[in-house]
Structure 1
Amino acid sequence: MAYADYDADATELLETYDFLMKFIIIGEAGTGKTCLLHQFTHNSFKEHSQHTIGVEFSSRTVKLGEKRIKLQLWDTAGQERFRSVTRSYYRGAAGAILVYDITSRASFSKLSRWLEDARALGSPHLVTVLVGNKSDREEEREVEWAEASRWAAEHDVHFLEASSLSGDNVEAPFLLCARSILLAIEAGTLDPEKAGSGVSYGDRALRRVNSSSRLSFGSLSGSRRKSTTVRLKIPGTGVRCC
């Protein structure tokens, strides 16, 4: 699925929020999940990152149009010995950031198993974004963009590549996932008041999304700690995503 000229400023907010969404970050060990999340929440690369033990939690509030969304972010261990523990955190997730390493075919070949678990345990309306991490290491690439794009299309997930080292395109998967969930709420296919949806109303006590308060995504604006614009464009325009 292509999103042309999708601009977004993700803003850390201290104010109240409209929605609370649960996201899980999943994938094989060593794919850079923790570094990707740290770049998203702290706007910096995490040096000397160690393998996650079990599950680590963080959060960030972002702004999409006029809506403020607090993301609960569960970073899960990719090692097999923690699998029985981490799978319990998948329950009720509204979004999944599925990560592989573009320099590791082994991490790509095991994606189906991770996606199967997420869909079995997450929300019935789980939105998944596939992220090919370490795009800065093009010379070591083992998984071509076209191959990953086909896999994403076959499994009905969004796809893009990013670099947790440089920060390139790091915000995009989180914002794209949240945007898809908001659109599902607006369309009436996802009810935040339903148990297991992975979404709940926030402190602003928003109880209804209707035609008089439609979600606005045409030009997403705000101000970040360091002003950063994330652009998702169709293949061939500079940033690869679908």
Structure 2
Amino acid sequence: MDGERIPGYKVVILGDTSVGKTSLVHRFLKNEFNEHTANTIGAAFITADHSSNVNPNKRVRLEIWDTAGQERYRSLTPMYYRNAKAALVCFDLSSIDTFEKAQYWLEQLSLNSSSEDIKKYIVGTKSDKIADPQEIYQVKNRLDHTAVMFETSAKTGHGINQLFDKLVDDVDEQIFDDFNKRREEELRRENENSMINVLSKTVHNRYSCC
């Protein structure tokens, strides 16, 4: 399927400032890492067509909203939740304080999201800064047992593709069904309009003066 014929899938990325949200997106899109990435102002919007390595036929256009984590922008953040299908709640694995604040973003998501079906992913960033794997294990133990945490590193690329593959794998089949129905209806209307135009030209040519 080409980019124009695949469904859009809105993803909002949340988390405190400097936890590595933008670097995560940059690594995913360009497979690059910049040590001196500037803080996001308000929000950045990026699109990317992606299919999972597990199921290559399952392909969507990710509509990614990379939101600012600074406190002065927090009043704006809820507007980006609207119609989101998935949320990546990020924290810095090397800073337990940002893990505690991740709970704030989860609560805000529940309070401001209009859809109870929004899929939530907890993303630990900067895993390259963790020397002792036991530290990550301790963080996981503090999570709700129903939550899934991804360990990632924008610097090394660790876990990035697995995260976005999982995100696409989890897209509900209903989204594809609804998209295909809309697409079929659009094609039907386009064909009808084409036939009308052909008939109009035929009639015009038949009765036009020589």
TM (norm. structure 1) is: 0.67
* Shift of residue 203, structure 1, vs aligned partner: 9.9
* Shift of residue 158, structure 1, vs aligned partner: 1.9
CA distance in 2, matches of 1:176, 1:102: 20
- Cα separation, partners in 2 of 1:200 and 1:135, compared to 1, 3 Å: farther
The aligned amino acid for 1:205 is R
The aligned amino acid for 2:24 is L
1:163 equivalent among 146, 153, 158: 153
In the TM superposition, what whole-angstrom CA distance separates every residue of 1:3-55 from its partner, at most 9, and x where no partner exists?
Answer: xxxxxxxxxx8543432110011011110000001111111113421111100
In the alignment, what sits opposite 1:61? 49
1:165-180 equivalences under 5 Å are 165-180=155-170
Task: Give the gaps of 5 or more residues in structure 1.
Answer: 1-12, 194-198, 208-242
In the alignment, what sits opposite 2:91? 100
1:51 equivalent among 39, 48, 53: 39
CA distance in 2, matches of 1:31, 1:203: 40
Q: Which has the higher helix share?
A: 2
In the alignment, what sits opposite 2:79? 88
In the TM superposition, what whole-angstrom CA distance separates every residue of 1:99-158 from its partner, at most 9, and x where no partner exists?
Answer: 11011111011111101112233331111111111111123x79922233234434x332
**1:135 and 2:127 aligned:** yes
The aligned amino acid for 1:163 is S
1:42 equivalent among 19, 23, 30: 30
8 Å contact 1:131–1:161 — kept in the other structure?
A: yes
What RMSD over aligned residues (CA atoms) do the two structures have, in Å?
2.8
The aligned amino acid for 1:111 is A
Corresponding residue SS for 1:136: helix
Percentage identity across paired residues of the two chains: 31
Larger Rg: 2
Corresponding residue SS for 2:98: helix
- Cα separation, partners in 2 of 1:27 and 1:14, compared to 1, 3 Å: same
* Shift of residue 91, structure 1, vs aligned partner: 1.5
The aligned amino acid for 1:167 is G
In the TM superposition, what whole-angstrom CA distance separates every residue of 1:145-191 from its partner, at most 9, and x where no partner exists?
Answer: 2233234434x3321101001111112222212212x2xx34xxxx5
8 Å contact 1:23–1:95 — kept in the other structure?
A: yes
Task: Give the gaps of 5 or more residues in structure 2.
Answer: 186-210
CA distance in 1, matches of 2:178, 2:64: 15
